[in-house]
Structure 1
Amino acid sequence: MTSPRLPRRLLLSLVSVLALASLSTGLAQGAPAAPAAPVRAAAPAAPAPSTGPAAPAVSAAAVTFSDDFDGPAGAAVDGTKWQTETGDNVSNHERQYYTAGNRNAALDGQGHLVITARRENPGNYQCWYGRCEYTSARLNTAGRFTTTYGRVEARMKVPRGQGMWPAFWMLGNDIGQVGWPASGEIDVMENVGFEPSTVHGTLHGPGYSGSGGIGAGYTLPGGQAFADAFHTFAVDWSPEAITWSVDGVVYQRRTPADLGGRQWVFNKPFFLIVNLAVGGYWPGDPEGSTVFPQQLLVDYVRVTTNTGQPSGGPITGVGGKCVDVAGANTANGTPVQLYDCNGTAAQRWTVGADGTIRALGKCLDVASGGTADGTPVQLWDCNGTPAQQWAVPAARDIVNPQANKCLDATGGSSANGTRLQIWTCTGAANQKWTVTR
């Protein structure tokens, strides 16, 4: 996005111990440099087995989150799905105070959530600039729901007027541990009032945050305004691509190749956020032409798995054992081993068109990018390096082209817990694999 948007910042008052998970979009004024590629340590020699069945793969088009906002007029949102943030937003110079309860976020009795921005201050709220001039609402699903991949969509009717800034977006669930922008941010839809016909979709991450985010805008034809009608805003999110659409019309697709070597931080859980801001660096402040109250109407929010991505299947090797992520652990450096086939997520692997082999949202990786015989393989954040590239020829080898070596069960063993490694290709049984696509 080329607009002079700065990061949305920490609210002065947050809700519950999940506060760090529900930080606003920015925690630092400038974007840090992209981190150097990690140095991978060798994984433990005696990996633990998987620890029992995980949930089966979700079938195509399964709904994993849905809120149609059905309920009586004036009712608050479902607290099992949403938490309400409170406070102002100093670092982005927004003018509103986000309130709790149902005064600024309530159902209308007709199947909509209505977020209302008002020029008022009934609670004598204090903002960064003094006594607050406006109230509004901001909701998130932190602690209630996260998703990794899928179709994330909302049908909404945005407000109109200078200074209005509605948004539907996502933050990495690890924001409390790694901060922003390392957590990543996916903006499904943002609109600023001075562009009534245009919405924006943007990615933010380390080295490409704030006004340096990677994104594009979509403009309605014929001078139509988004405030005139409901529109459906969506992203289709898979391990190596995120695609934005409005009313089913795709207007941009982003992959790691768009980041110029910077880190792709979108292979992990994210939570959802919907809010209506008033003022700020990007939209500018309301002016005399801005009419209050203004409303953001949300018909539904839904997350499904209909990305067209395979849910994965087993890779079996010597002794009929399955390639397995030890302990079903998603930590970087987790050993990859042989183990009795049990149908868990730790044994469901997806062979991607990009050359990766993935499970649990991460990639099969040659430790430290090594090429020597005996270099172990492990689970690691997908990063596009040659250490995570694999060829799967008809001969049933699984080859790392950088090393020109085969995936190999150490010592030819088929015992549970046998560590996998790369080794010079010999055609032996411990290098032959059956991949379920």
Structure 2
Amino acid sequence: MRKTQLLSYCLLAIVGITACSKKNDESPKLNNETALAAAEPPTVQVPGVCEYDLDEAALKAQGYTKVFEDNFNTLDTTKWDRWNSGGYNNELQLYTPKNLRIVDGKLLIKPVKETVTGATDPDDPTKKKFDFTSGRIESHYNFKASTTTPKVRISARIKQPLGFGMWPAFWSYGGNWPTNGELDILEGFGERNLYNTNIWYGSTAGTPDHDYTLSMTYVQSQSDLTSCYHVYEAIWQKDTVTFLLDGTVTRKLVSSTPAGRFIPKFFNKTQHITLNAAIGGDQFGTIDPSQVVLGDTYVDWVRVYTAK
């Protein structure tokens, strides 16, 4: 996950943004005009459908072909890399494989309060003490919106955790972040009814060319996101990225607008899927670890479809 500005700023109506990406870098400075325009990301209200599932026959009729799937009958290490280190974004957890379990055909990401020592992050092997452990997986499978597959649909059926300080995420990104782009399909807050979506891109590795709040959206569901399963999706095309919850479009970003102007720049560049449950970090600003309330993240399945 990558954070460049604190979410807490945004919640205070000051410019601040979340993103779910690989590492933490210095915050780019926004000019005053951009900052004023971007100060309050839109909030979209949708009904949400408890225990929603995709109708694959309907998707097939729309021309989609399933190219990747994991139903988590096992945790297949030929499909997924399991992290064993700290994360980025000033998160409080050490990611370890033991926090990833299969329970009744679901992937369980189980956070645990425990004092452990491990690598600071994948790029820094320096040992560091952590107050929590959790889990993160990244797919070996890569995909891209391209002239061959101009429409890519990334989907997962997830039950979010309930608990202060929980930061569950379902997202995709590519190498040399953010030059291959990033799609934040779900970033949760440990709340029953709220999460956000976003996109990222940068022409130089480690530096996002992004007015963050322009493409960020808060999604408020009338259905509880933590007590039952919901389907989170992004449809990636050359000039658009469309986010959906339970089949309802929550936002469509278009390249002809400021919010979507970077989308064509990562067309034909590969990404892979990431699922994780961070604890604390820049999503929440500075928090007292003793106030964290842990919650479990469950993933029923993950799929990628393509269409021409």
TM-score, L = length of structure 1: 0.51
Q: Provide the residue aligned with 1:138 in structure 2.
A: 136
Deviation digits for residues 1-43 of structure 1, max 9, x if unmatched? 95633566xxxxxxxxxxxxxxx5346323499xxxxxxxxxx
Structure 1: unaligned runs, 5 residues or longer: 9-23, 34-58, 72-76, 312-437
Q: Provide the residue aligned with 2:123 in structure 1.
A: none
1:146 Cα deviation after fit? 2.6
1:271 Cα deviation after fit? 0.8
Aligned 8 A contact 1:151 1:234 in 2 = yes
- Matching of residues 249-268 of structure 1 within 5 Å: 249-259=248-258, 262-264=261-263, 265-268=265-268
Deviation digits for residues 203-243 of structure 1, max 9, x if unmatched? 1113554844612121112xx43112111101112221111
Higher strand share goes to which structure?
2
Matched, 1:191 2:192: no
Deviation digits for residues 238-293 of structure 1, max 9, x if unmatched? 2211111111111100011223795333312211111000001122436555434x
Relative distance call for 1:201 and 1:190 in structure 2 (3 A) is: same
Aligned 8 A contact 2:152 2:305 in 1 = yes
- Counterpart code for 2:220: T
Matched, 1:154 2:151: no
Q: Provide the residue aligned with 2:68 in structure 1.
A: 65
Q: Provide the residue aligned with 1:230 in structure 2.
A: 229
- Matching of residues 89-238 of structure 1 within 5 Å: 89-90=87-88, 92-99=89-96, 101=97, 103-108=98-103, 110-121=104-115, 123-125=116-118, 127=120, 130-141=128-139, 143-148=140-145, 149-172=151-174, 175-176=175-176, 180-193=177-190, 195-206=191-202, 208-209=209-210, 211-212=212-213, 214-221=215-222, 224-238=223-237
Aligned pairs, how many?
A: 247
- Identity across the alignment (%): 26
SS at structure 1 position matched to 2:117: coil
Aligned 8 A contact 1:164 1:283 in 2 = no
- Counterpart code for 2:118: Y
Give me the whole-angstrom Cα distance separating, in 2, the residues matched to 1:296 and 1:6.
19
- Counterpart code for 2:181: G
Relative distance call for 1:291 and 1:260 in structure 2 (3 A) is: closer
- Counterpart code for 1:304: Y
Aligned 8 A contact 1:151 1:235 in 2 = yes
- Counterpart code for 1:190: E
- Counterpart code for 1:216: T
Q: Select the structure of larger CA radius of gyration.
A: 1
Relative distance call for 1:94 and 1:118 in structure 2 (3 A) is: same
1:153 Cα deviation after fit? 0.5
Aligned 8 A contact 1:95 1:132 in 2 = yes
Aligned 8 A contact 1:181 1:209 in 2 = no
Relative distance call for 1:5 and 1:118 in structure 2 (3 A) is: farther
Q: Provide the residue aligned with 2:299 in structure 1.
A: 298
RMSD: 2.8
Aligned 8 A contact 1:7 1:210 in 2 = no
Structure 2: unaligned runs, 5 residues or longer: 1-6, 31-61, 121-125, 146-150, 203-207
Relative distance call for 1:79 and 1:129 in structure 2 (3 A) is: closer
Matched, 1:25 2:28: no
Q: Provide the residue aligned with 1:281 in structure 2.
A: 282
Give me the whole-angstrom Cα distance separating, in 2, the residues matched to 1:220 and 1:236.
20
